[in-house]
Amino acid sequence: MAAATSICRELRLRDYRNFTELELQFPAAGAAIIGENGAGKTNLLEALYYLEIFRSFRGAPDEQLVRFDAPAFHLRGRFEDTGSGRTVEVTAAYEVKGRRKRVTVNGVETERLSEAIGHVSAIIFSPSDVSIVAGAPGERRRYLDIVLSLHEPGYIQALQRFRQALRQRNTMLRQGAHSALLEAWTEPLLVPAARVMSARARWIDAYAPRFAERYSAISGGLRAEMRYAPGGRIDPSAAGDEAALRTALEAEIARVAERERDRGMTLVGPHRDDLAILLETDTGPVDLRNFGSGGQVRTGVIALRLVETESLRAARGRTPIILLDDVFAELDPGRSRRILELLEREEHGQVILTAPKASDVDLGARGTEFVSTLASWRIAGGRVTT
């Protein structure tokens, strides 16, 4: 029996980025969208993925997504779960005046965005992903937060509660509040902090072996690993136990209490976490961020996205839509070929990829037969020719 997959059947855009209006019907296998840089390829994939997480994967604020001089953007997508046959329609709109975002699922407006996140089931691979590995720890925390918000029920709510408690506690620290008042915000911080950190630790521990396998397969034999690096003196091996982690956090906060008062900020918790990605060398593991080549960093990013795909498949019971945004442009032919071969061998459903020219993905080449099943479309000036 074929594995259940998520499929985008229809996507409509109005006044989004460089698109005045666009309506597309996607084949079940997917499409290869070919066009020059600046034609709108990335904008198209960004719009589709927006219906999964309701923000730009490139980090742009909503007002920048509205076409110049337009009052608002509107997105509508229709998606199918091939396992159950169910369809879901997701819409999103943002009005510049009033800065209002409106999201609906099957025609019902959601009160909270967290209720709408994840109905699409999609993964995006993009050149901008390099910042996940090469950027500051905040980039990797953001990556983990998105993955776990889509993967683990209750994660986003715990993250929101932690952030609220953190803001209040930091305010108390800056104001030099009395210990009793500070303690009133320490307790509400501990529970969601432990929830967030233990979820991150469990996910990283569960998928670390698969990350190492993917990295080696893409790189042609080089080895890398990912590890959880908690904020504060917390034992990473015990971080997956939520109750034990809460106790450890409480002890660590007590240990740094004087330093926190001096600096006016909370020094322990998930806001200090990192996802360590290490390259194995003859002299031992080194930080890929600081010591990896451009190709090695990009390989790490692709390996992360591949384990994210597996993780989402396990959580949802269906294979997500794969969005590939010009991911082969800065990779050597060998790595590009191995990525396509990995996708060929593993479970994959609908694939929507973009490239400046068809030869960039070697359409129909031996060993990448699934690419030859994609519809070949052209894009120019915000218009798509199917």
- Residue 87: predicted pLDDT: 95
pLDDT of residue 373: 83
Predicted confidence at residue 184, as pLDDT, reads: 86
Half-sphere exposure (Cβ direction) of 253: Cα atoms closer than 13 Å: 25
Instruction: Count Cβ atoms within 10 A of the Cβ of residue 178 and give its class: 0-12 exposed, 13-18 middle, 19 or more buried.
Output: exposed
Residue-level pLDDT at 3:
75
- pLDDT at residue 193, rounded to an integer: 95
Look at residue 331 in the predicted model and tell me its pLDDT: 73
**Residue of 190, 164, 207, 182 lying closest to 306 (CA atoms):** 207
Return the DSSP state at 240: T
- Show the 3-state SS of 315-374: HHCCECEEEEECCCCCCCHHHHHHHHHHHHHCCCCCEEEEECCHHHHCCCCCCCHHHHCC
Calculate helix-pair angle for 333-345, 294-316, nearest 10 degrees. 10
pLDDT of residue 362: 62
Q: Among positive and negative, which fits the CA dihedral 296, 298, 302, 305?
A: positive
pLDDT tens-place values along the chain, 386 residues long: 457 999 999 999 999 999 999 999 999 999 999 999 889 999 999 999 999 999 999 989 999 999 999 999 999 999 999 989 999 999 999 999 999 999 999 999 988 888 899 899 999 999 889 999 999 999 999 999 999 998 888 999 999 999 999 999 999 999 988 888 888 888 899 999 999 999 999 999 999 999 999 999 988 889 999 999 998 888 888 788 899 999 999 999 999 999 999 999 999 999 999 999 999 998 989 999 999 888 899 999 999 999 999 999 998 888 999 999 988 777 777 777 787 777 777 767 899 999 888 777 664 444 456 677 889 999 998 899 98
Q: Which residues pair with 385 in a beta bridge?
A: 378
pLDDT value, residue 1: 41
Distance CA(224)–CA(298), nearest Å, equals 12
- pLDDT of the residue at 343: 76
Say if CB 324 and CB 353 are below 8 A apart.
Answer: yes
What is the rounded CA–CA span in Å between residue 54 and residue 237? 34
Three-state SS for 47-104 is HHHHHHHCCCCCCCCHHHHECCCCCEEEEEEEEEECCCCCEEEEEEEEECCCCEEEEE
**Assigned architecture for domain 1-121+318-386:** 3-Layer(aba) Sandwich (3.40)
Between the two ends of the chain, the Cα-to-Cα distance in Å is 31
- The position carrying tokens 């159950």 is 84
Distance CA 116, CA 110 (A): 7
In contact, 277 and 203? CB cutoff 8 Å: no
CA distance 149 to 166: 19
Residue 153: helix, strand or coil by DSSP?
coil
pLDDT of residue 365: 47
Q: How far apart are CA 16 and CA 73, in angstroms?
A: 5
pTM confidence score: 0.90
Q: Which tokens sit at 325?
A: 């945004």
The b-or-e profile of 39-56 (16+ CB within 10 A means b, else e) is bbbbbbbbbbbbbbbbbb
The C-alpha atoms of residue 375 and residue 247 are separated, in whole angstroms, by: 55
**Could you tell me the CA-to-CA distances from 385 to 34, 73, 141 in Å, in that order?**
10, 22, 39
Q: What is the pLDDT of residue 368?
A: 56
- Cβ atoms of 245 and 234 within 8 Å: the answer is yes
What pLDDT shows up at residue 34?
Answer: 93
